[in-house]
Chains A and B, each alone.
Chain A
């Protein structure tokens, strides 16, 4: 296996041009999502989905004085933009839920859905704590970002990172990206930006997923960008559920046996 590859998406550099969305659609030859007006700022994409593997979120925020409106030329208002993508989790809910083995971990440590194996059971859709993977109704299979597996195999950069004009999307070895992210956060703090935080950069900061191979630098709380504040791979909680299922099943069988014994000896009314 080569070194783990991933994205560091630095939202403080995002200008909301959506070049990543377009490049992803073009390279992967994904169908369009339609020309629909949402009214939600400049975001007419809405959310990641089966044929949307990059999504740029737009947040128009009224700045509280505490966040230092004086640093901003547009007084009292700021733009938050973030290019969202599959996180390629270390503990991936979709992968652990897949009953067919269609979802695999590749040599780049990314999470990949094999379209020729997927039978469209939809379990990964419910298991992803980020709402990334989705089943396309008319296709019947589950789809998500492949981390441009085809481009990586040829030593190329994923289409979204390649097209990003401001290096908001940085691609590389996860270890190296992590160092770069820590440095960038320190730099922002030094410049007086308050409220900036890294999201999912390692297992310590996000124990529920064991860290994300595609992590983020955010300028506000995760909820603002539609990211869960404390995501967890469902499997680790499933263990407790299995215990209760085992006990309940044993209880059912014992009840039946006890009932049969009692019925035979005519002691049930």
Chain B
């Protein structure tokens, strides 16, 4: 007579259920883990869903919400993304200035052109690193170049960044050679300038092309803000290590125009949702509002301190530092204010009820996108 082995069944109380298992309750020796979600990795079982604070405050308000819980998922991006927005804009604007100096500047601007080329390349490489650090699976970063998807600003931007890095790399490595290689380097610098301008601008679309109410409402202003802010910060980095003569004047001119454009876009962005003030609320109140005002004030101070040129080197450096701090604060403010507007269900509800959803598009239903065959790298 054989005895059937008895497996002791451990008691699973609330503590054991929440801490010691992943909650799947599948014993791998007895059951197959082959479900669609079975491959989902669980390192820390059951993270506490922090947003589940009970609230009854909304009960009396006019627009109903579901216990005040967010309707959207908050963007999962970490600090490296606003840092990338800053670095990418700076690199792109520097590349554009370098290419312009090569094309139209002549020998007087040769030094500036080299400095811009190097700044552009360093920014492209650093920016790529920051973006890869944000990925949930950094080892799969190369999948970004697996397809080209025109509907995705992230895909378009990945290609712009990769090509810009390649073009600037060619410019730095080959720019001073003679003959065919030198010509290729100069073509690289010129192409890097065009791609750099797009690199600074697309990041605005990247944020705007989301469901986040604040970013979506500011879809016209964001690219302009990031382009202007990129020009300002590229000019500021070059002014931290001042050059002389024509290149110093050009840098100052370029940076000042950038600061004016950025300030204009910021003022416009605050007014981007007049019918639903809740959408732009994070720009006015709390820590994100303070950060936003700091960005405005520092950029304006940078513009004021640099004056009309003819300043001392010391004053130039102070102005440059103020401008860089302003650009960084602005990027942080935009990202965190967007996250806050995603957490606020009223920003979505009131915005869409005020006609900022599909209603502001044409009345006809959106057509399905034309099916396009995409090359897939395997």
Contacts and interface: CB of A to CB of B under 8 A. Distances in A.
Are A and B co-members of a single complex? yes
Interface in B65-88: 65-67, 69-73, 75-77
Contacts of B76: 122, 125, 134-135
Given A47-B70, A228-B71, A91 B366 contact: yes
Given A236-B366, A241-B204, A252-B227, A226 B65 contact: yes
Contact of A143 (B37, B47, B137, B221): B37
Contact of B250 (A135, A210, A220, A259): A259
B250 A100 contact: no
A255 B231 contact: yes
B5 interface: no
Given A28-B35, A35-B18, A241 B137 contact: no
A130 B72 CA distance: 6
A257 B100 contact: yes
A263 B249 contact: yes
Contact of A204 (B198, B308, B365): B365
A139 to B, nearest CB: 4
B52 A232 contact: no
Interface string B301-312: 000000011100
Contact of A34 (B18, B54, B254): B18
B66 A125 contact: no
Contacts of B52: 36, 38, 40, 44, 46
Interface string B186-209: 000000011001101110110011
Nearest to A231: B357
Given A30-B40, A97-B209, A234-B211, A228 B17 contact: no
Interface string B142-160: 0110110101111100100
Interface residues of A, number: 114
Contacts of B158: 99
A57 interface: yes
Contacts of A134: 73, 76
A251 interface: yes
The bracket for how many chain B residues form the interface is: 35 or more
B101 A260 contact: yes
Contacts of B361: 207-208, 232, 236-237
Nearest to B209: A238
Contacts of A233: 366
Instruction: Output the residue of A90, A98, A135, A226 with the most chain B CB within 10 A.
Output: A226
A249 B198 contact: yes
A118 interface: yes
A264 B349 contact: no
Interface string B243-271: 00011011001100100010000000000
Interface in A125-179: 125-143, 146, 148-150
A64 interface: no
Contact of A117 (B66, B69, B105, B143): B143
B43 interface: yes
Contacts of A49: 49, 73
Contacts of A135: 76, 136
A193 interface: no
A244 B223 contact: yes
A101 B66 CA distance: 33
Interface stretch (B91-99, B177-185, B279-287, B322-330): B91-99
Interface string A255-269: 111011111101011
A119 interface: yes
Contact of B210 (A127, A211, A260): A127
B104 A207 contact: no
Interface in B1-37: 14, 17-18, 21-24, 26, 33-37
Instruction: Output the residue of A122, A244, A245 with the most chain B CB within 10 A.
Output: A245
A224 to B, nearest CB: 5
Closest 8 CB pairs of A and B: A120-B136, A32-B23, A208-B358, A230-B357, A140-B136, A39-B54, A256-B100, A29-B35
25 contacts: A38-B54, A38-B67, A46-B69, A49-B49, A50-B40, A96-B369, A100-B143, A115-B39, A119-B135, A131-B73, A131-B211, A139-B42, A141-B137, A142-B136, A223-B66, A223-B345, A226-B65, A229-B352, A229-B353, A234-B211, A238-B219, A241-B209, A253-B99, A262-B250, A264-B106
Given A51-B40, A268-B250, 20 more contacts: A28-B37, A30-B40, A31-B22, A32-B23, A36-B48, A57-B66, A90-B368, A91-B368, A102-B143, A138-B44, A146-B36, A203-B365, A220-B64, A226-B345, A231-B352, A235-B369, A242-B153, A248-B227, A249-B227, A264-B106
